[in-house]
Amino acid sequence: MSSVPSCPVCTLENTYPDGDNYICADCGFEWPQTAAAEENNDERIVKDSNGNVLADGDAVVLIKDLKVKGSSTTLKQGTKIKSIRIVGGDHEVDCKMDGGSFMLKACYLKKV
C-alpha cells in the first residue's frame, strides 16, 4: 500500500509528492505534506491553562467562574472535575458534574 494519501477533494488515489506538496493528477489539487501528516495523527493534544497535556480520565479544576449559556447556573472557580473526556471541536473537554453534563474549553481548566 502506498504511503501517499488520497486526494482530500476528489478522494482518488492518483496522487504524488512534489517538493513539499502532494498533487492530485486527476483534479490538480495541491496540499502540503505536513498537513497530511497531521491528519493521519488521530491523537489530539489538548493542553490546560498552564500548558500541561490533558488526557481522558484526568481530574481538573476550574480557574475562573463560568456562566452556563442559556441558564442562570454559574460554575464556580475552584470546582474540581473528575474523569474528563477529550472530544473534538472548540470545546475540547466533556465532563459530568453535579449540575449536569458540560463541554468546556481547556483554557479555563488546570490539571490536578
Burial class (CB within 10 angstroms; exposed 0-12, middle 13-18, buried 19+) of 92: buried
- Going from N- to C-terminal start, the domains of the chain cover 1-42, 46-111
Q: What is the pTM of this model?
A: 0.61
pLDDT in tens, the chain (112 residues): 457 788 888 888 888 888 888 888 888 888 888 755 555 555 678 999 999 999 999 999 999 999 999 889 899 999 999 999 999 888 899 999 888 899 999 999 999 9
SS3 34: helix
Give, in words, the CATH class of 1-42: mainly beta
Q: Which of 57, 54, 52 is nearest to 84 (CA)?
A: 57
Q: List the CATH code of the domain at 46-111.
A: 2.30.30.40
Own/partner pairs for 24-32, CB < 8 Å, 24+ apart?
A: none
**C-alpha cell at position 39:** 491528519
